[in-house]
Amino acid sequence: MTDKKVAADPGALHESLTLEQQQELLEKYDLESNQRNPQNFMKHIIYFGLLAFTVFQLYTAVFGQFPAQIQRTVHLGFALTFVFLLFPASRKLSKRTIPFYDYILAVIAIIVGSYWVINYDRLVQSLGQLQTMDFYIGILAVIIVLEGARRAVGLPITIIAGLFLLYAFYGPYMPDFMSHRGQSLDSIVNLMFFSTDGILGTPLAVSSTFIFAFLLFGAFLVKTGVGEYFNDLAIAIAGKLTGGPAKVAIFSSALQGTISGSSVANVVTSGSYTIPMMKRLGYNKNFAGAVEASASTGGQLMPPIMGAAAFLMVEFIGRGVTYWDIAKAAAIPAILYFTGIWIMTHFEAKRLGLRGLKDDEMPDRSKVFKKIYLLIPIVLIIILMMSGVPVIHAALYGIISCIIVGFINPDVKFGFKEIIDGMVDGARSALAVAAATACAGIIVGVVVKTGLGLSLANSLVKLAGGSILLTLFFVMIASLILGMGAPTTANYVITSTIAAPAIIALLAPDVAASAAPLVIVLSAHFFVFYFGIIADITPPVALAAFAASGISGGDPIRTGVNSAKLAIAAFIIPYMIIFSPAMLMIDVTLWEVVWVVLSAIMGMIAIGAAIIGYWYRPVNWIERIILLAAGIAMIYPETLTDTIGLIVFVGMFVIQWMTKNKGNGSKAAIS
């Protein structure tokens, strides 16, 4: 098949997409990838400027950070400067030339980024008393942060941040349950740029330290060939299983999530290979795209990186919570998420009679497993963090191990140039994250200053009449809406600031949020995090599903609907976390954890069979209803419901097993 034919019909591919086709899809569905490629001297200036950005970050990681305001504004100044030089104001503008106004914005970003460096002593001693120049610099900072986020992240987060700024100013005119005394323009500017509660708040603090280090680590993993190895390893392990290509997609995407901070990037990277393979073996194009989209979105939920949200959770929750506490708490929910997708694709493959890969379609397993050393950086970084090594140091050691592995791997060209390129790629990947976290800081600052979070929380609880299920349902809808189109980091900041307090207020009504039991706080944060993330596969704004449909040639909405079906576990697990916090492995016995996991898996088997319509044989509608009820009963953490659900599950299993040779006709794939 020629490249021309491939470009015309990417869904008909029997091979993986070319790098050019992958980039085209990324630019269409992932704003972070929609960057200019200047061809004149600016190309070299940008290259060495991004290198300088990484050098600054590495210097502070090794020798210690500057004072908070300096560390964060320099980080922000670097990021916004290159956002304006690399991200066009509109998709329709040229990708090769930089218009004059973007040079002006870049200069403003440099001024804003250096203002605290130049005036640090005076600003610290001023105790919030702003001079005229301070006021105007603060105004410029807010404007360029909003515009930078719009370009690099998208319009939704900019609109939300803008509305919050208006809310801060017009507080007295709001409805009673949202009203506050209002903030003057001076106080808003002071809050946003001359305190550590606004733009320079916790989200940007995490971006300027931990997140940058791990993005750099991810860039070096790509350079050493680990990303490609994930596909080979996934095929070697899962390729020959029933419906092998779909299981390869799930396994590969879970691994890709360790180095990718974007659901869309994950889809395009692994899906360009797995989706054509699934279609070739008989999966419907909408279903093939859905498998990859749901699995790739789950990559943001998979420890150790979790799309960089884990580092934000540590800072937002506080209370001495460590990174390892978050990663450990995320492990069982993430495993259950991918188990749910695995079960659904298995039943679909059995229903359609789809085979695994043949021997001649498989890679040489001995060669694949001989290269298992490529996973050393990931294993090392997990071990280091388990042993209590500071997160930033663990990332640095991980980067060093990547460089060593790169020199060992004979399948990639790796030398001094690749090391420098990796540093540049790491800085480039941090631009959108810095813009997103700075913009999210605006939202957090307003919430903290006005008390809006508590007001909204109490209003949601009141609207739900104190009902736990109804409150959780409202929070779920709010998180899905707030998460649409937002990258993982901004997504978590927004949902945890606006939606999570409602759950905490409901489950711990008699204490302040800061004094609520840790298990409740963690449960609330994971609840909103999950629903914010799966907005990427929930129509109508399902960016990961839309990107997958661009590869499969399927219908975007149908692909999104199928993605939501496959990811049904993601709609159930957050409720399980609230009702059965043993899943987070906090103050629980081993037996409690084992029972929660086993009952959840059995519940997902029942629900999966009900949705797909197949177990050991086709499942009729009456059996579907019974299985769905049994699954929900086992997932709801009560002894009575677990017992009833288990009895029904065992009964349905026996019936299916005894009659498995009846009615095994194949049907068309989910469309």
Residue 31: the pLDDT is 67
Residue 10: the pLDDT is 36
CB 298 within 8 A of CB 254: yes
59 assigned to some structural domain: yes
In the structure, how many helices (H) and strands (E) does the chain have?
Answer: 31, 0
195 assigned to some structural domain: yes
368 assigned to some structural domain: no
Q: Which of 424, 528, 491 is nearest to 153 (CA)?
A: 491
CB 669 within 8 A of CB 290: no
Domain boundary (173, 202, 231) is at 202
41 assigned to some structural domain: yes
Where do we find the tokens 């974007």? 262
Is 60 exceeded by the pLDDT of residue 663? no
Query: Which of 4-13, 175-184, 519-528, 604-613 is least confident?
Result: 4-13
Helix (H) or strand (E) holding 329: helix 323-352
Split at pLDDT 50, 70, 90, the class of 638 is confident
Q: Which of 87, 74, 394, 53 is nearest to 204 (CA)?
A: 74
pLDDT digits (tens, 9 = 90+) for 258-286: 666 678 888 887 888 888 888 887 888 99
Non-local CB neighbours of 203 within 8 Å, separated by 6+ positions: 312, 437, 438, 440, 441, 444, 489, 490, 493
Rounded to the nearest integer, the mean pLDDT of the chain is 86
Split at pLDDT 50, 70, 90, the class of 402 is very high
Best mean pLDDT range from 59-68, 466-475, 549-558, 567-576 = 59-68
What percent of the chain shows pLDDT beyond 90? 35
Is 50 exceeded by the pLDDT of residue 668? no
pLDDT digits (tens, 9 = 90+) for 431-473: 999 999 999 999 999 988 888 887 888 888 888 887 888 989 9
**Mind giving me the DSSP string for 603-637?**
HHHHHHHHHHTBSSSB--HHHHHHHHHHHHHHHS-
226 assigned to some structural domain: no
Where do we find the tokens 């004094």? 515
Query: Which of 132-136, 307-311, 396-400, 463-467 is least confident?
Result: 307-311
- Residue range 204-213: average pLDDT? 91
Split at pLDDT 50, 70, 90, the class of 652 is very high
Cis preceding linkage at 540, omega within 30? yes
Residue 226: the pLDDT is 83
Buried b (16+ CB within 10 A) or exposed e, 626-635: bbbbbbbbbb
Split at pLDDT 50, 70, 90, the class of 187 is very high
Residue 615's domain spans which residues? Answer: 589-671
Domain boundary (202, 237, 272) is at 202
255 assigned to some structural domain: no
Is 80 exceeded by the pLDDT of residue 8? no
CA–CA separation, 256 and 228 (whole Å): 9
Is 70 exceeded by the pLDDT of residue 666? no
Residue 512: the pLDDT is 66
Residue 489: the pLDDT is 81
3-state secondary structure 249-264: HHHHHHHHCCCCCCHH
72 assigned to some structural domain: yes
Residue 670: the pLDDT is 43
- Residue range 190-200: average pLDDT? 94
CA–CA separation, 150 and 138 (whole Å): 19
CA–CA separation, 560 and 564 (whole Å): 6
Count of residues for the chain?
Answer: 671
Domain boundary (202, 235, 264) is at 202
The dihedral built from the CA positions of residue 614, 615, 621 and 625, taken in this order, carries a sign that is negative
Is 50 exceeded by the pLDDT of residue 637? yes
SS3 category, 244: helix
Residue 264: the pLDDT is 82
313 assigned to some structural domain: no
Best mean pLDDT range from 70-79, 616-625, 650-659 = 70-79
Split at pLDDT 50, 70, 90, the class of 430 is very high
Is 60 exceeded by the pLDDT of residue 32? yes
Residue 13: the pLDDT is 35
Residue 487: the pLDDT is 78
* Number of structural domains the chain divides into: 2
